[in-house]
Structure 1
Amino acid sequence: MHVLIEWTYKTPKGATTVLRSEEMPAAQALLLAEDMEKTGRVKSLHCIDRQNTNWTLKELKAYLKEIDTEPHNITVYFDGGFDRGTRQAGLGCAIYYEQNGKPYRLRRNAFSSELKSNNEAEYAALYLGLVELELLHVHHIPVRFIGDSQVVINQLSGEWPALEKELASWADKIDAKLEQLSIQAEYQLISRKDNSEADRLATQALNGIDITGLSEIVKE
């Protein structure tokens, strides 16, 4: 979770002003906020998340302690590929998260012969990521979904309407799953080049290569 710090600064002579920080990871904000309070010049202080929810330092500390043993700081890369000639699709997702102080990567792909377009394959790939999050018991936290499909990203974020019946059905299915898991979705559009891992997983699925793997990320 990312938050910003909002605090009322008080000078020795009693003058006050309200200040806001840039957005940062919640753990970093907690460290900075606690250090700021030690100066004795903070009249009031709280943190604000991307859903505009206010957190006291006590609430934020309790939240971070609670989620440390569960997957958090989650980013899902997704991509779908569709072969018009064979009417077959490949789906791929790569999920990055932290748990118990360690970073992990989960990779998963799937084959489908039931989709009708590349846009449907993109939606199905994102939904595949949601299914994996459910298996990881992810709930009640924000998650970033990153893909190279303008249609999916813009429709799910509300920028574009989902006019096609099949795509509207996928959007409703995804919204229902997000609500079920109480996940606050954040969507980000990137280039296909920057989405190469999920693209490769989708291509492998189309070629009959199944990928399912979870690994700890070892920093050099």
Structure 2
Amino acid sequence: MKYKLEWKYKLKGSEGIDFTSDWLNGELALQAGEELEGSGKAVDITFYDEAGTSWTIKEMKKLLAEIEEEPHDITMYFDGGFDKGTNRAGLGAIVYYNQGKKKYRLRANQVVEEMDTNNEAEYAAFYFGLSLLEELGVRQLSCEFKGDSQVVLKQLEGDWPCYEETLNRWLDRIEHKIEQMGLYPKYLPIERKANKEADKLATQALEGKMIHSKMQII
């Protein structure tokens, strides 16, 4: 989750000047708030999260302490590979996240039968990635979703229309799951070369090499 600060800068003989920060991660936002408070020049310091909820400095400290041991700062990569000859799809997903003071990477893949198109495989890969987030217990957080499928990400964002009934069903499933988990999604299309890790997982799934591993990033 990202946060922004709003505060009033005190001036002699004036009601003060209102300021708003950029969106920051929790630790940086709290540090900025504490330094502003310590300067003696800032009053009415308030934090806002991406859902519009407001927090005081005291409440922000308590919030960050509570979520510190939960997965946060989530980025998910996804990719789907489609085999026309067998109508099978290989799904690959990678989740990067922080928990406590440590950073982790979760890698997993899966094979699904009876796929019709590569776009459907991409949707299935996205949904598979969501299931990994659900297993981690991710709730009420902003998440970045990265993939090289413009179709999936642009349709999820609402920028492109979806006319295919099969893909619409995947859209509905994904949107329902995101709402159910209380996520605040950010859809970020990337180039194929930047998605090699997820692509490799999808290919390995079609080859029968199943992977589900978590490691700490040093």
Name the TM-score class by shorter chain: over 0.9
Alpha-carbon offset, residue 32 of structure 1: 0.8
1:124-154 per-position Cα deviation (integer Å, ceiling 9, x unaligned): 1111111111111111211111111111101
Matched residue SS, 1:38: helix
After superposition, what is the alpha-carbon deviation per residue over 1:70-92, rounded to whole angstroms, capped at 9, x for unaligned?
Answer: 11111111111112233221100
Deviation per CA, 1:50-85: give whole Å up to 9, x if none.
Answer: 334433323322221111111111111111111223
- State the shift of 1:15 in Å: 4.8
**CA, structure 1 residues 198+44, in 2 after alignment: closer, same or farther (shift >3 Å)?**
same
- Corresponding residue for 2:210? 210
Q: Which runs of 5+ in 2 are unaligned?
A: none
2:9: which partner in 1? Answer: 9
CA distance in 2, matches of 1:9, 1:215: 45
Alignment-mate amino acid for residue 37 of structure 1: E
- CA displacement at 1:161 relative to structure 2: 2.0
| 2:74 corresponds to 1:84 | no
Question: Partners in 1 of 2:8 and 2:61 — Cα distance?
Answer: 20
Confirm or deny: 8 A CA contact 1:109 1:202 kept in the other structure.
Answer: yes
Letter in 1 for 2:107: R
Structure 1 unaligned blocks of 5 or more: none
Match of 1:18?
A: 18
* Residue aligning to 1:102: 102
* Cα displacement (A) at 1:194: 0.8
Aligned twin of 1:172: 172
- Report the TM-score, using the length of structure 1 for normalisation: 0.93
Q: What is the distance in 2 between the residues matched to 1:185 and 1:148?
A: 16
> 8 Å contact 1:109–1:212 — kept in the other structure?
yes
Trace 1:32-71 onto structure 2 (pairs within 5 A).
Answer: 32-71=32-71
Q: Do 1:12 and 1:41's aligned partners in 2 also have CA atoms closer than 8 Å?
A: no
1:49 Cα offset (Å): 2.9
User: RMSD of the alignment, in Å?
Assistant: 1.4
Name the CA distance, whole Å, in 2 between partners of 1:69 and 1:44.
29
Percent identity (aligned): 46
Equivalent residue, structure 1, for 2:118: 118
Report the Cα distance in structure 1 between the residues aligned to 2:197 and 2:55, rounded to whole angstroms. 35
User: How many aligned residue pairs are there?
Assistant: 218
Tell me the equivalent position of 2:185: 185
